[in-house]
Amino acid sequence: MGSDKGLILPDNHFRQPLLVGAGIEGIERILVVTAHPDDVDFAVAGSVAVWTQAGIDVAYCIATDGDAGGSDRSISRSEMAAIRRREQTEAAATVGVTDVTFLGFPDGRLVPDLELRCAISRVIRRFRPDRVVAQSPERNWARIYASHPDHLAAGEAALCAVYPDARNPFAFPELLEEGLEPHAVPELWVMATERADRVVDATEVFGRKLAALQSHRSQVGDGEHLEDLLTNWMSGTALAAGLPEGRLAEAFHVVDSA
């Protein structure tokens, strides 16, 4: 839906010490699951660029087409969905991602029901990631924009897909009929959470993150304000992790889901 969601927390809202590291050892495939086009670029496109630059295969699963986004009432909702698919595909390519799945659920009406859980499980079983990166299912009272109902729903459904759905051969038997064998995701990284315990230094790829976010022209316009906005968010995260002045970082809560 709308832009400038405030997906990165201010540095004084982290509850615990932050470990610095991209987490690339032993990782071959990462799946990022979000509610809307542009969610991934606000929150984690810097980390994605770090991962793809290291040779990791990253894919996106976007629950909606973002058809409720923007404020131009002259654009039909079906046209907006098509625009936002194009923008997200362009943004993904900017940070080295070519595998983008749009699930097509209604923007603004996402719920973590069995249909959404099955759809995300299908993508997990197809892509077979070593890590899933998802939105938080917990409401953040310090940063309400991070807690859009669609974000909460996408986060809850993604967590349910990671455990137990995607790994359980008896969950969604139709997936077995499609030839998709169960897959256990070893770890889950949660974005936009007060529980963050890991940061990825994205300073060297900041230009690619910025370009990815600027691809969402229907939501951010000319995007001239984005550099200062992102620098403010990401520098606070970096300082909270003890990185030197001038570094830029993104934060996650790492969960062992093996």
What's the pLDDT score for residue 143?
75
H-helix segments, 74-172: 77-94, 114-127, 149-160
* Residues 146, 5 contacting (CB under 8 angstroms): yes
Q: Which of 254, 242, 248 is nearest to 17 (CA)?
A: 242
pTM: 0.93
Query: In a structure prediction context, what are the per-residue pLDDT tens digits for the chain, which is 258 residues long?
Result: 444 443 444 444 676 789 999 999 999 999 999 999 999 999 999 999 999 999 999 999 999 999 998 878 889 999 999 999 999 999 999 999 999 999 999 999 999 999 999 999 999 999 999 999 999 999 988 777 778 999 999 999 999 999 999 999 999 999 999 999 999 999 999 998 989 999 999 999 999 999 999 999 999 999 899 999 999 999 999 999 999 999 999 999 999 998
Q: Tell me which H or E stretch contains 219.
A: helix 217-220
- Of 65, 57, 64, nearest in space to 99 by CA: 57
Nearest by Cα to 33 from 58, 5, 68: 58
What pLDDT, on a 0 to 100 scale, did the predictor assign at position 15?
A: 66
Contact 192, 39 (CB under 8 A): no
Report yes or no: 13 and 147 within 8 Å, Cβ to Cβ.
Answer: no
| In the chain, domain spans | 34-256
Are 19 and 198 in contact by the 8 Å Cβ rule? The answer is yes
Architecture of domain 34-256: 3-Layer(aba) Sandwich (3.40)
* CB-CB neighbours of 139 under 10 Å: 12
Strands 29-34 and 131-135: parallel
